[in-house]
Amino acid sequence: MPTLEIIGAPQSNFVRTTRIACMEKGVPYTLTPARPHTPEVDAIHPLGKIPAMRHGDFTLCESQAICSYIDRAFDGPPLIPRDPVGAARSVQWVSMHNTSIDPLFVRQYLLAYFFSGLPDGAPDRTKIDAALPKMHETFAWLDRELGTRAYVAGDTWSLADAFLLPTMYYMNKMPESGEMVKASRNVAAWFDRVTARPSGKETEPPPMPGR
Ligand SMILES: N[C@@H](CCC(=O)N[C@@H](CS)C(=O)NCC(=O)O)C(=O)O
């Protein structure tokens, strides 16, 4: 069987999710570092986004689809529970991450630090400050949820953890969100639990470009 290739920058939270999925499934993979909108990415993702994947002649884009392929194409522990309720809960959390948590925490807040678009490249304080009230609310409900179970979608690890971990990794590092992690006891305990797994340790990203 050909080796699965993940294409994308290791700093990307969505690229890291697919690498965590490979590790948890026990699937060997290679990482080909590539930034969004480069020829190797554009050849697979029509919008030039990372990650992209190649497995022999088969190419695929979108992190959730890539993880679903990894889960079904290979033997190994399920990334999405096989029972209907467990599967639905995991997919529900992947969706909440992708449609509510990532847009606020990563696209609005984190990127205002690293890719502000301001002429001098300085963090965009207006965007950062605008994100903070909603981030406090989001941390409050995440902390309530994670107070009831060990992992995002239940008492065992699932793909939902592979989506939230890379995002929370950056939240733990940044000043305002780092304080929010510290103040959210259940989020902090979950974060320690998932980062201690080999899939968390071995996929830790290098610093953002230019830092
Ligand atoms: N829905 C996509 C989102 C991927 C995504 O937004 N990747 C970012 C890097 S973390 C990217 O490629 N950004 C460039 C762009 O949006 O043009 C997925 O789940 O794979």
Distance, CA 209 to ligand 1 centroid (Å)?
A: 16
Distance, CA 100 to ligand 1 centroid (Å)?
A: 14
Distance, CA 148 to ligand 1 centroid (Å)?
A: 31
Give the mutation target among 11, 49, 64 for probing the ligand 1 site: most ligand atoms within 8 A of CB: 49
The number of residues making up the chain comes to 211
Q: In this structure, what token pair is assigned to residue 183?
A: 């103040």
User: pLDDT value at position 208?
Assistant: 83
- % of the chain at pLDDT higher than 90: 97
User: pLDDT value at position 98?
Assistant: 98
Give the mutation target among 7, 40, 50 for probing the ligand 1 site: most ligand atoms within 8 A of CB: 50
Q: In this structure, what token pair is assigned to residue 150?
A: 């060990």
Distance, CA 210 to ligand 1 centroid (Å)?
A: 19
Residue ranges with strand state E in 41-196: 52-55, 58-61
Atom of ligand 1 nearest to the CA of 64: 19
| Chain centroid to CA 142 | 16
Q: In this structure, what token pair is assigned to residue 211?
A: 């830092």
Atom of ligand 1 nearest to the CA of 47: 17
User: What is the rounded distance in angstroms from the CA atom of residue 114 to the CA atom of residue 70?
Assistant: 31
Atom of ligand 1 nearest to the CA of 61: 20
Judge whether 159 and 98 are in contact, CB under 8 Å: no
Query: What average pLDDT does the structure give for the chain?
Result: 97
Q: In this model, does residue 211 exceed pLDDT 60?
A: no
More confident residue, 198 or 1: 198
pTM over 0.95? The answer is yes
pLDDT in tens, 99-153: 999 999 999 999 999 999 999 999 999 999 999 999 999 999 999 999 999 999 9
| Chain centroid to CA 171 | 12
